[in-house]
Structure 1
Amino acid sequence: MYYLKINGTKVKAPKEMTVLIQDIDAKATRDATGLLHRDRVATKRKITASWAPLTIQECKEILDAVQPQFFKCEYLDPMDGTINTRTFYVGDRTAPVLSFNNETQEHTWNGLQFDLIEQ
Protein backbone atom coordinates (compact mmCIF):
# COMPACT_ATOMS: atom_id res chain seq x y z
CA MET A 1 0.00 0.00 0.00
CA TYR A 2 1.27 3.46 -0.87
CA TYR A 3 2.12 5.93 1.85
CA LEU A 4 3.35 9.47 2.23
CA LYS A 5 5.52 10.43 5.18
CA ILE A 6 5.79 14.14 5.98
CA ASN A 7 8.11 15.40 8.71
CA GLY A 8 8.35 11.90 10.16
CA THR A 9 4.56 11.42 10.24
CA LYS A 10 2.97 8.77 8.04
CA VAL A 11 -0.16 10.58 6.86
CA LYS A 12 -3.27 9.24 5.17
CA ALA A 13 -2.45 8.41 1.53
CA PRO A 14 -3.52 11.18 -0.85
CA LYS A 15 -6.43 10.59 -3.20
CA GLU A 16 -4.30 12.15 -5.93
CA MET A 17 -0.63 13.02 -6.11
CA THR A 18 1.40 14.45 -8.98
CA VAL A 19 5.18 14.76 -8.96
CA LEU A 20 6.56 17.52 -11.20
CA ILE A 21 10.25 17.30 -12.09
CA GLN A 22 11.47 20.79 -12.93
CA ASP A 23 14.77 22.20 -14.09
CA ILE A 24 15.96 25.34 -12.35
CA ASP A 25 17.92 27.68 -14.62
CA ALA A 26 20.14 30.50 -13.40
CA LYS A 27 19.98 32.01 -16.87
CA ALA A 28 18.38 31.09 -20.19
CA THR A 29 18.81 33.17 -23.33
CA ARG A 30 18.42 32.79 -27.08
CA ASP A 31 21.02 33.92 -29.54
CA ALA A 32 20.39 35.69 -32.86
CA THR A 33 19.64 32.37 -34.59
CA GLY A 34 17.05 31.39 -31.97
CA LEU A 35 19.22 28.73 -30.33
CA LEU A 36 18.58 28.41 -26.59
CA HIS A 37 21.51 28.61 -24.19
CA ARG A 38 20.76 27.67 -20.61
CA ASP A 39 22.57 27.46 -17.34
CA ARG A 40 20.73 24.67 -15.50
CA VAL A 41 21.74 24.74 -11.84
CA ALA A 42 19.43 22.08 -10.37
CA THR A 43 16.58 19.67 -10.92
CA LYS A 44 13.90 19.89 -8.22
CA ARG A 45 10.57 18.26 -7.38
CA LYS A 46 7.16 19.79 -6.75
CA ILE A 47 4.47 17.48 -5.40
CA THR A 48 0.80 18.40 -5.70
CA ALA A 49 -1.23 16.32 -3.26
CA SER A 50 -4.96 16.22 -2.60
CA TRP A 51 -7.04 14.21 -0.20
CA ALA A 52 -10.67 13.08 -0.30
CA PRO A 53 -12.97 14.02 2.59
CA LEU A 54 -11.07 14.02 5.89
CA THR A 55 -12.07 13.94 9.51
CA ILE A 56 -11.01 16.88 11.66
CA GLN A 57 -8.21 14.78 13.15
CA GLU A 58 -6.88 13.54 9.78
CA CYS A 59 -6.80 17.08 8.39
CA LYS A 60 -5.11 18.43 11.52
CA GLU A 61 -2.48 15.67 11.43
CA ILE A 62 -1.51 16.47 7.83
CA LEU A 63 -1.46 20.24 8.40
CA ASP A 64 0.61 19.84 11.58
CA ALA A 65 3.17 17.82 9.60
CA VAL A 66 3.71 20.64 7.07
CA GLN A 67 3.80 23.42 9.69
CA PRO A 68 7.62 23.84 9.94
CA GLN A 69 9.40 26.16 7.52
CA PHE A 70 11.21 23.16 5.94
CA PHE A 71 10.63 19.43 6.50
CA LYS A 72 11.55 16.01 5.12
CA CYS A 73 9.07 14.20 2.89
CA GLU A 74 9.24 10.52 1.96
CA TYR A 75 7.43 9.73 -1.28
CA LEU A 76 7.58 7.57 -4.41
CA ASP A 77 9.78 9.38 -6.94
CA PRO A 78 9.08 8.61 -10.63
CA MET A 79 12.57 9.54 -11.82
CA ASP A 80 14.46 7.52 -9.19
CA GLY A 81 11.92 4.68 -9.22
CA THR A 82 12.13 4.32 -5.43
CA ILE A 83 10.83 5.79 -2.22
CA ASN A 84 12.86 8.97 -1.84
CA THR A 85 13.38 11.50 0.95
CA ARG A 86 13.92 15.18 0.16
CA THR A 87 13.51 18.51 1.95
CA PHE A 88 10.40 20.52 1.06
CA TYR A 89 8.33 23.51 2.10
CA VAL A 90 4.57 23.85 1.66
CA GLY A 91 2.61 26.25 -0.53
CA ASP A 92 -0.90 27.53 0.14
CA ARG A 93 -3.16 25.00 1.83
CA THR A 94 -6.83 24.66 0.81
CA ALA A 95 -9.40 22.80 2.93
CA PRO A 96 -13.02 23.34 1.82
CA VAL A 97 -15.74 22.55 4.36
CA LEU A 98 -18.03 19.64 3.45
CA SER A 99 -20.46 19.75 6.36
CA PHE A 100 -21.20 21.17 9.77
CA ASN A 101 -23.53 19.36 12.15
CA ASN A 102 -24.26 21.72 15.03
CA GLU A 103 -26.32 19.13 16.92
CA THR A 104 -23.56 16.50 17.12
CA GLN A 105 -20.65 18.96 16.79
CA GLU A 106 -19.25 16.73 14.02
CA HIS A 107 -17.54 18.45 11.15
CA THR A 108 -15.99 17.07 7.99
CA TRP A 109 -13.54 18.62 5.56
CA ASN A 110 -14.18 18.06 1.86
CA GLY A 111 -10.51 17.29 1.44
CA LEU A 112 -7.22 19.10 1.52
CA GLN A 113 -4.84 20.23 -1.20
CA PHE A 114 -1.38 21.79 -1.33
CA ASP A 115 1.95 21.80 -3.11
CA LEU A 116 5.17 20.57 -1.58
CA ILE A 117 8.09 22.42 -3.18
CA GLU A 118 11.63 21.09 -2.88
CA GLN A 119 14.04 23.41 -1.12
Structure 2
Amino acid sequence: MELKIDGQVIASYPSQFTVTTMDLDDGDSTTRTADGTLTRDRVAVKRQIEMQWGVIKWSIMSALLQSMSGVFFDFTYPDPMTGQYETKTFYVGNRPAPVAVSKGGEILWSGLKVTLTER
Protein backbone atom coordinates (compact mmCIF):
# COMPACT_ATOMS: atom_id res chain seq x y z
CA MET A 1 0.00 0.00 0.00
CA GLU A 2 1.26 3.46 -0.85
CA LEU A 3 0.16 6.60 1.01
CA LYS A 4 1.36 10.07 0.02
CA ILE A 5 0.76 13.58 1.30
CA ASP A 6 1.41 16.29 -1.28
CA GLY A 7 3.34 13.76 -3.37
CA GLN A 8 5.65 12.63 -0.54
CA VAL A 9 5.49 9.14 0.97
CA ILE A 10 3.95 9.36 4.45
CA ALA A 11 6.48 9.38 7.35
CA SER A 12 5.07 6.19 8.87
CA TYR A 13 2.37 3.80 7.76
CA PRO A 14 -0.62 3.56 10.10
CA SER A 15 -1.52 0.37 11.93
CA GLN A 16 -5.19 1.02 11.11
CA PHE A 17 -6.52 2.51 7.86
CA THR A 18 -10.23 2.92 7.08
CA VAL A 19 -11.83 4.55 4.03
CA THR A 20 -15.48 5.59 4.34
CA THR A 21 -17.51 6.58 1.28
CA MET A 22 -19.99 9.28 2.29
CA ASP A 23 -23.03 10.68 0.51
CA LEU A 24 -23.67 14.37 1.10
CA ASP A 25 -27.28 15.44 0.72
CA ASP A 26 -28.74 18.90 0.31
CA GLY A 27 -30.13 19.81 3.73
CA ASP A 28 -32.98 21.89 2.33
CA SER A 29 -34.28 19.66 -0.44
CA THR A 30 -33.75 16.25 1.22
CA THR A 31 -36.89 15.54 3.23
CA ARG A 32 -39.21 12.81 4.48
CA THR A 33 -42.92 12.85 3.86
CA ALA A 34 -45.52 12.14 6.56
CA ASP A 35 -45.55 8.45 5.58
CA GLY A 36 -41.74 8.23 5.92
CA THR A 37 -40.85 8.27 2.22
CA LEU A 38 -37.47 9.89 1.59
CA THR A 39 -37.03 12.51 -1.10
CA ARG A 40 -33.29 12.74 -1.49
CA ASP A 41 -31.04 15.22 -3.24
CA ARG A 42 -27.50 13.84 -3.14
CA VAL A 43 -25.09 16.63 -4.01
CA ALA A 44 -21.74 14.82 -3.70
CA VAL A 45 -19.94 11.59 -2.82
CA LYS A 46 -16.87 12.20 -0.65
CA ARG A 47 -14.29 10.13 1.22
CA GLN A 48 -13.35 10.18 4.88
CA ILE A 49 -10.17 8.37 5.92
CA GLU A 50 -9.33 7.36 9.47
CA MET A 51 -5.77 6.38 10.36
CA GLN A 52 -4.24 5.32 13.65
CA TRP A 53 -0.66 4.55 14.64
CA GLY A 54 0.85 2.37 17.34
CA VAL A 55 4.05 3.36 19.15
CA ILE A 56 6.15 5.83 17.12
CA LYS A 57 9.18 8.00 17.82
CA TRP A 58 8.76 11.69 18.52
CA SER A 59 10.49 12.64 15.24
CA ILE A 60 8.02 10.50 13.27
CA MET A 61 5.06 11.99 15.18
CA SER A 62 6.31 15.46 14.34
CA ALA A 63 6.83 14.61 10.65
CA LEU A 64 3.31 13.14 10.37
CA LEU A 65 1.63 16.12 12.03
CA GLN A 66 3.65 18.66 10.06
CA SER A 67 2.80 16.94 6.76
CA MET A 68 -0.91 17.48 7.54
CA SER A 69 -0.59 21.02 8.91
CA GLY A 70 -1.89 22.81 5.82
CA VAL A 71 -5.49 23.94 5.59
CA PHE A 72 -5.87 21.50 2.67
CA PHE A 73 -3.46 18.96 1.18
CA ASP A 74 -3.43 16.27 -1.50
CA PHE A 75 -3.59 12.69 -0.22
CA THR A 76 -2.92 9.61 -2.35
CA TYR A 77 -4.47 6.36 -1.12
CA PRO A 78 -6.01 3.10 -2.39
CA ASP A 79 -9.71 3.71 -2.95
CA PRO A 80 -11.97 0.68 -2.34
CA MET A 81 -14.76 2.04 -4.55
CA THR A 82 -12.74 2.93 -7.66
CA GLY A 83 -10.32 0.02 -7.33
CA GLN A 84 -7.28 2.20 -7.90
CA TYR A 85 -5.06 4.76 -6.21
CA GLU A 86 -6.69 8.16 -6.01
CA THR A 87 -5.31 11.59 -5.17
CA LYS A 88 -7.88 13.92 -3.65
CA THR A 89 -7.77 17.11 -1.59
CA PHE A 90 -8.42 16.61 2.13
CA TYR A 91 -8.33 18.47 5.41
CA VAL A 92 -7.57 16.97 8.81
CA GLY A 93 -9.70 17.26 11.93
CA ASN A 94 -8.58 16.82 15.53
CA ARG A 95 -5.30 14.97 15.99
CA PRO A 96 -5.14 13.40 19.48
CA ALA A 97 -1.63 12.20 20.29
CA PRO A 98 -1.38 10.39 23.64
CA VAL A 99 2.13 9.97 25.01
CA ALA A 100 3.22 6.42 25.75
CA VAL A 101 6.55 6.43 27.56
CA SER A 102 9.90 8.08 27.88
CA LYS A 103 12.54 5.47 27.11
CA GLY A 104 16.27 6.18 27.22
CA GLY A 105 15.66 9.91 27.00
CA GLU A 106 13.40 9.56 23.96
CA ILE A 107 9.65 10.11 24.10
CA LEU A 108 7.58 7.47 22.34
CA TRP A 109 4.01 8.27 21.37
CA SER A 110 1.17 5.81 20.98
CA GLY A 111 -2.33 6.08 19.59
CA LEU A 112 -2.08 9.05 17.20
CA LYS A 113 -5.39 9.12 15.39
CA VAL A 114 -6.36 11.38 12.48
CA THR A 115 -9.48 11.76 10.40
CA LEU A 116 -9.07 13.15 6.89
CA THR A 117 -12.17 14.50 5.16
CA GLU A 118 -12.32 15.17 1.43
CA ARG A 119 -12.79 18.81 0.53
Fold match, TM over 0.5?
yes
Q: Which residue of 2 aligns with 1:17?
A: 17
Separation of aligned partners in 2, 1:9 and 1:52: 21
State the shift of 1:94 in Å: 1.1
Q: Which runs of 5+ in 2 are unaligned?
A: none
Q: Which residue of 2 aligns with 1:5?
A: 4
Per-residue displacement from partner, 1:31-56 (whole Å, max 9, x unpaired)? 23321001100000000000111111
- State TM-score, norm by structure 1: 0.92
Separation of aligned partners in 1, 2:35 and 2:109: 54
% of aligned pairs identical? 41
Q: Which residue of 1 aligns with 2:83?
A: 81
Q: Which residue of 2 aligns with 1:44?
A: 46
Q: Which runs of 5+ in 1 are unaligned?
A: none
Given candidates 84, 94, 105, the residue that maps to 2:96 is: 94
**Equivalent residue pairs, number:** 116
Q: Where in structure 1 do 4 or more consecutive aligned residues deviate above 3 Å?
A: none
CA distance change for structure 1 residues 23 and 106 in 2, over 3 Å: closer, same or farther? same
Q: Which residue of 2 aligns with 1:115?
A: 115
Separation of aligned partners in 1, 2:34 and 2:100: 55
